[in-house]
Chain A
Amino acid sequence: MNGPHDLGGQMGFGLVAPDSNEPYFHADWERRVLGLTLSCGAFGAWNIDESRHARENIPPASYLAASYYEIWTRALEVLLERHGFATSAEIASGTKQVEPAVPKRILKAETVAGVLSKGGPCDRPLETRPAFAAGDRVRTKNFNPETHTRLPRYARAKTGVVEAVQGAFVFPDDNAHGKGENPQWVYTVVFDAAEIWGEGADPTLTVSIDAWESYLERL
């Protein structure tokens, strides 16, 4: 979707404001939201793509005004409601009113270390051969789906060169919407800045994205 999250090339956000002594969290609730988000992810009711899509569905004015962990909070509330774990009234009151859906797993303290060190690989075996090889010239798709995609707007309908075949991975555009993992080959595709930004682009700059095969067409 062409949401507020798709920020590449937008202007007006000011300076980056790096701070080398910045703490990981600015308030205690941010700690809890990190832990709650990962714990609820262990329910097995949604995947990382659906979770990302819940964040980018926050209305633009709210998304851009929110701090990072506020975005996580709002998305988590949506996911918990959607999947029957808590109602909006329960979330607002902090009090149980109905029985929740049954999660596949409940994360316990003693299993946290194992779960985090295992992670959640999203590469998948794929029997088809990659359609593209390093060195191929490709053009990215021009589309504007209302659903989840990982092809940013700035890199649509652009000509680039495949630099590497990176393996086959779960396709987020489907997986975010419960349509299955439907893995595809993923390629690193490099663009000259002039192809993306046109007039005035930095001649020393190249930008790459990692693109699923269906984002690309051969030139």
Chain B
Amino acid sequence: MHDDHETDHHDHHGHAHGHFHDHDNRYTDMQARVRALETVLVEKGLIDPKAVDAIVETYETKIGPKNGARVVAKAWSDPVFADWLKADATAAIASLGYTGRQGEHMRAVFNTPGTHNLIVCTLCSCYPWAVLGLPPTWYKAPAYRSRAVIDPRGVLAEFGLALPQETKIRVWDSTAELRYLVIPERPDGTDGLDEQALAALVSRDAMIGTAIAGVPS
């Protein structure tokens, strides 16, 4: 999903999101400010710049929504795993190798024909990094954080998702250290698909709850 990052290193001009627009001067100022900060921390022996590189590389290339999609695909394919995920999501997810920072206390919430789940953090940006990677900008920005709890249907409409009027919506505000992963419903017409093909139908947004799973092409 984010394999285009190599081309984006110095290009913020093409990404005018929300309150970022027209802030080129601010971004230049921030570049200088952060460079000064890193320089003095390195001079003081407090920071290993290669550790900073390693952290960035981890979250740009290694940990992302493909992890979560594999969890969902396995839950769709393996009822024993799905039960484990319901009972102890942290352990079930760790069995696939996804552990650690911002995934220490996982909960999986399953969409059903009558109920749609949506995840938000109104107070900051809590997000299940271990299975979804770093959150998208919109998830961290005031519009989503303010509206998800009061007008989720309006928010979902902006993602192109119109749920049936009678569908119940459950919004989970991540106010503590539990991190939530939405398990979307398995789409129709996917009976013959293996886990890899199923995982390809599961977007990041479907695991936040701002989308549903895709249909096979």
Which residues of B are found within 8 Å of A155, using beta-carbon distances? 173, 175
**CB contact between B144 and one of A16, A25, A91, A111 (< 8 Å): that residue:** A16
Decide if A210 touches B176 in the complex (CB within 8 Å): yes
> Which parts of A3-41 form the interface with B (CB within 8 Å)?
5-11, 13-29, 31-36, 38-40
Contacts A68-B141, A112-B58 hold; do A207 and B171 have CB atoms under 8 A apart?
Answer: yes
CB of B167 to closest CB in A, whole Å: 7
Decide if B146 touches A8 in the complex (CB within 8 Å): yes
CB of A194 to closest CB in B, whole Å: 12
Decide if A70 touches B30 in the complex (CB within 8 Å): yes
CB of A100 to closest CB in B, whole Å: 5
**Chain B residue nearest in CB terms to A114:** B100
B125 interfacial by beta-carbon distance below 8 Å: yes
Contacts A17-B138, A92-B36 hold; do A23 and B2 have CB atoms under 8 A apart?
Answer: yes
Decide if A122 touches B40 in the complex (CB within 8 Å): no
Contact mask for chain B residues 129-162; partner A; CB cutoff 8 A; 1 contact, 0 none: 0100110111011111111011111010011000
Contacts A90-B40, A95-B40, A119-B104 hold; do A36 and B123 have CB atoms under 8 A apart?
Answer: no
B55 interfacial by beta-carbon distance below 8 Å: yes
CB of B30 to closest CB in A, whole Å: 5
Which residues of B are found within 8 Å of A73, using beta-carbon distances? 30, 33-34, 37
CB of A172 to closest CB in B, whole Å: 8
Decide if B141 touches A24 in the complex (CB within 8 Å): no
**CB contact between A8 and one of B130, B141, B145 (< 8 Å): that residue:** B145
Instruction: Please report the C-alpha to C-alpha distance between residue A192 and residue B38 in the assembled complex, in whole angstroms.
Output: 47
Decide if B53 touches A205 in the complex (CB within 8 Å): no
A103 interfacial by beta-carbon distance below 8 Å: yes
**CB contact between A206 and one of B99, B151, B168, B205 (< 8 Å): that residue:** B168
**CB contact between A121 and one of B12, B27, B34, B104 (< 8 Å): that residue:** B104
Which residues of B are found within 8 Å of A24, using beta-carbon distances? 2, 5, 59-60, 133-134
Decide if A109 touches B175 in the complex (CB within 8 Å): no
Which residues of B are found within 8 Å of A121, using beta-carbon distances? 104-105
CB of B208 to closest CB in A, whole Å: 10
CB of B170 to closest CB in A, whole Å: 5
Instruction: Please report the C-alpha to C-alpha distance between residue A34 and residue B140 in the assembled complex, in whole angstroms.
Output: 14
CB of A138 to closest CB in B, whole Å: 15
Which residues of A are found within 8 Å of B167, using beta-carbon distances? 204
Which residues of B are found within 8 Å of A143, using beta-carbon distances? none
Which residues of A are found within 8 Å of B176, using beta-carbon distances? 150, 166, 169, 186, 210-212
Decide if A109 touches B50 in the complex (CB within 8 Å): yes
Q: Which of B34, B39, B125 has the most CB of A within 10 A?
A: B34
Contacts A122-B104, A208-B171 hold; do A7 and B145 have CB atoms under 8 A apart?
Answer: yes
Contacts A23-B2, A27-B27, A36-B34 hold; do A107 and B48 have CB atoms under 8 A apart?
Answer: yes
Decide if A116 touches B101 in the complex (CB within 8 Å): yes
Decide if A202 touches B35 in the complex (CB within 8 Å): no
Instruction: Please report the C-alpha to C-alpha distance between residue A31 and residue B20 in the assembled complex, in whole angstroms.
Output: 16
Contacts A8-B173, A93-B36, A109-B50 hold; do A18 and B103 have CB atoms under 8 A apart?
Answer: no
A130 interfacial by beta-carbon distance below 8 Å: no
**Chain A residue nearest in CB terms to B160:** A18
Instruction: Please report the C-alpha to C-alpha distance between residue A120 and residue B179 in the assembled complex, in whole angstroms.
Output: 13
Which residues of B are found within 8 Å of A91, using beta-carbon distances? 36-37, 40
Which residues of A are found within 8 Å of B138, using beta-carbon distances? 16-19, 22
Instruction: Please report the C-alpha to C-alpha distance between residue A117 and residue B150 in the assembled complex, in whole angstroms.
Output: 35
Decide if B39 touches A204 in the complex (CB within 8 Å): no
B31 interfacial by beta-carbon distance below 8 Å: yes
B residues contacting A by CB (< 8 A) are 1-2, 4-5, 8-10, 12, 15, 17-20, 23, 26-27, 30-31, 33-41, 43-48, 50-56, 58-60, 63, 99-105, 107, 122-125, 130, 133-134, 136-138, 140-147, 149-153, 155, 158-159, 165-178, 203, 205, 210
Q: Known contacts A17-B158, A36-B41; can you find 5 more A-B pairs with CB under 8 A? A: A16-B147, A23-B2, A154-B150, A208-B170, A210-B178
